[in-house]
Amino acid sequence: MTSRLLEAGAAATRPDRRRSGRAPAWRRLLRQPVAASAGFVLAVVFVIGAIYPRIAPTDAQTINLSQRWLNHGPMLSGWHFLGTDNLGRDVAVRTLYGLHTSEQSALLATLLASFVGIVLGGIAGYRGGWVDALIMRFGDMFGVFPAIMLLLVAYTYFIPLTVEKATIIIALYLWIPVARVVRAEIASLREREFVQAALSLGASNRRIFFRHLLPNGSSTIIVAATSLFGQVIVLEATLEFFNIGVPSSVQPTLGNLIGDAQAGNLSVGLGWWTLVTPAGLLILILVCVNLLGDGLADALRPARTR
C-alpha cells in the first residue's frame, strides 16, 4: 500500500510532457505533416542517389548513336522513360548519376563548412574580446564580396577543377554564416546561470564548451546546417550552370546537366525533357530542404518560446 502511494505521488509530481510541450523533438517534428513529408521525400531521394550507381543498368556516359534513340522524348520502349539526349544517352540515368554527385558534394561541403563554422564561431563566442573580433572580422572580410566572384577566382586558380576541389572551395566560403550563428548562440549561453555555476565549481573551459554550451546550442546549429545544405546545392548548381565547374562529360551533376540542356535547347534543339528532369529534381530537393528546415526550427525550439 505504501509503495502504491509513493508511486502515485511520484506520478503526480512528474511533469506531463504532453501538457508541458516537452515531447521529444522527433515527435514534435512528426506532428508537422508538411515537414515530416518533406523529410521523408528527401530521405528517399538521398537513398536513391546513394545506391543508384551500384544498380544502374548503364553508365552515365554510354552513347548510342542509333538514329532511333537520338534526342527522343519519354518512351516505354528501350527503358528510356525520361527520353534521351542528342547522343542517345538516357536522361534518367544521367540525372540520377548527377544526383549522386551533387548529393555527395553538398553533404561533404555542409559537413566541412559546419565543422569550421562551429569551431571558429564557438571560440569567438566563448572567448570574446580580441579573439572574437579577429575571427569575425576575418569572416567579414570575405563576406563582403559576392560568393560568385570569390568562387570564380578560386575556380580559375585550381584548374583543372574536380568535384572534390569545388566542394572544398565552396565549404571554405560558406563557413561564415554558420560561424555567425554559432558565435551569437554561444555568446548568449555563456552568460546563463548553469555556465556560471560550472565555472564556480572549477570546470575547465573544454568541459564547459563541450558538455554545456554545444549541447544546449545544438538545435540552432542543426537548423543552420540544414539551411546551409540548400545553399550549397544552389551555389554548386549555379556555378555548373554557367559551365564554370566540372563538365558533364567528366562527371555529371544536376547543375551541369541543367546548363547543358539549356545551351543545347538553343544550339542543337535538345528536347524539353533534358532540362525539366534535372531541374525538377533540383527544385524538389530545395523545396524539401526548406520545409524540413522550418519544421526542425519549430520542433527544436524551447517549449517556453513556442
Give the model confidence (pLDDT) of 6-54 as tens digits.
343 334 334 444 444 456 766 777 788 888 888 899 899 889 888 877 7
Distance CA 261, CA 267 (A): 10
Radius of gyration of the chain (CA): 25
Distance CA 167, CA 112 (A): 9
Which residues neighbour 140 within 8 Å (Cβ) at sequence distance 6 or greater? none
pLDDT at 160: 66
CB 124 within 8 Å of CB 132: yes
pLDDT at 298: 77
pLDDT at 66: 66
Distance CA 288, CA 147 (A): 24
pLDDT at 22: 54
Distance CA 176, CA 144 (A): 11
pLDDT at 15: 42
pLDDT at 19: 40
With 0-12 CB in 10 A as exposed, 13-18 as middle and 19+ as buried, what is 295?
buried
Which residues neighbour 44 within 8 Å (Cβ) at sequence distance 6 or greater? none
Three-state SS string over 138-206 comes to HHHHHHCCCHHHHHHHHHHHCCCCCHHHHHHHHHHHHHHHHHHHHHHHHHHHHCCHHHHHHHHCCCCHH
Per-residue pLDDT of the chain (306 residues; tens, 9 = 90+): 434 433 433 343 344 444 444 567 667 777 888 888 888 998 998 898 888 777 777 766 777 666 566 767 777 666 677 777 777 788 888 888 888 888 888 888 888 988 888 888 888 888 888 888 888 888 888 777 776 777 777 767 776 667 777 788 788 888 888 888 888 888 888 778 777 787 777 777 778 777 777 777 777 788 888 888 888 888 877 777 776 767 777 778 888 888 878 776 555 566 777 888 888 888 999 898 888 888 887 777 655 444
In the block, residue with C-alpha cell 562551429: 118
Helix and strand totals (H; E) in the chain: 14, 0
Distance CA 25, CA 31 (A): 10
Distance CA 259, CA 274 (A): 10
Cis peptide before 160 (omega within 30 of 0): yes
pTM score: 0.77
pLDDT at 305: 44
CB 147 within 8 Å of CB 173: yes
User: 236 to each of 98, 101, 243, 280, how far by Cα in Å?
Assistant: 12, 11, 11, 16
Q: Provide the grid cell at 12.
A: 503526480
For the chain, list the domains and their CATH numbers.
Answer: 23-63+92-305 (1.10.3720.10)
pLDDT at 165: 76
In the block, residue with C-alpha cell 550549397: 232
Distance CA 240, CA 243 (A): 5
Distance CA 164, CA 107 (A): 12
pLDDT at 188: 83
